[in-house]
C-alpha cells in the first residue's frame, strides 16, 4: 500500500512498532524504491502519531494485524486529529459492520475474500 501510493507521487509515512517490517519497503521486484518516511512508533500513541505528522495528513490508513488497534488508531485520527479521510481494516465482519454504522470507513478483508471465493465458485 505504502509503495503503491509512493509510486503514485504521494507523500507517505509508514508507522510500525517493529523496524524489521520496513525491510518490505525495499523488497526488489515490486516496482520503484520507496521514497517516503518510515518511523518506529505505536499507532495508538498520540505522541507517535504527532511525530509522524498526523496533524497535516489528508488520508490515514490503519492496517495492523489487530482489529482493536486499527479501530482505536482510526478513532484517534478521526476524532482527536480530525484527519479528513480515515480508512480502517477490521478482519471481524461483525465488528466491521458495527463500526461502519458508527461512521468509520471500515473494510473487512474476510468478508470481501469470502465473497470473492463464492463468486469464483459460481463462474
Partner 1 sequence: MYIIVIGGGRVGYYLTKALLAEGHEVLVIEKDAGICEDISEELGSISLRGDGCEVATLSEAGTERADMLIAVTGEDEDNLVACQLSKHKFNVPRTIARIRNPQNETLFKMLGIDVTISSTNVILEHIEQELPTHPLTHLLTVEDSQQELVEVKIPAEAATIGKAIRELSVPPETKLTLIIREGGESLFPTPNAILQAGDRIIALTTHTTESLLRYALIGA
Residues at the interface with partner 1 (CB under 8 A): 44-47, 66-69, 71-72, 75-76, 79-80, 92, 94-95, 98, 101-102
Contacts of 73 (CB under 8 A, 6+ apart): 43, 44, 49, 60, 62, 64, 88
Nearer to partner 1, 26 or 50 (CB): 50
Q: How many CA atoms lie within 13 A of 106 on its CB side?
A: 27
Nearer to partner 1, 26 or 79 (CB): 79
Nearer to partner 1, 2 or 73 (CB): 73
Closest separation in Å from C-beta 71 to partner 1: 6
Give the separation between CA 8 and CA 10, rounded to whole angstroms: 6
Amino acid at each position: 500500500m505504502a509503495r503503491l501510493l509512493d509510486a503514485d507521487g504521494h507523500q507517505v509515512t509508514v508507522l510500525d512498532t517493529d523496524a524489521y517490517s520496513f525491510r518490505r519497503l525495499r523488497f526488489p521486484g515490486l516496482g520503484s524504491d520507496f521514497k517516503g518516511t518510515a518511523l518506529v512508533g505505536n499507532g495508538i500513541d498520540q505522541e507517535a502519531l504527532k511525530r509522524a505528522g498526523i496533524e497535516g495528513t489528508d488520508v490515514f490508513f490503519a492496517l495492523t494485524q489487530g482489529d482493536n488497534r486499527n479501530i482505536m488508531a482510526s478513532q484517534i485520527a478521526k476524532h482527536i486529529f480530525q484527519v479528513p479521510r480515515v480508512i480502517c481494516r477490521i478482519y471481524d465482519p461483525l465488528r466491521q459492520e458495527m463500526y461502519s454504522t458508527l461512521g468509520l470507513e471500515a473494510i473487512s478483508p474476510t468478508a470481501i475474500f469470502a465473497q470473492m471465493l463464492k463468486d469464483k465458485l459460481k463462474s
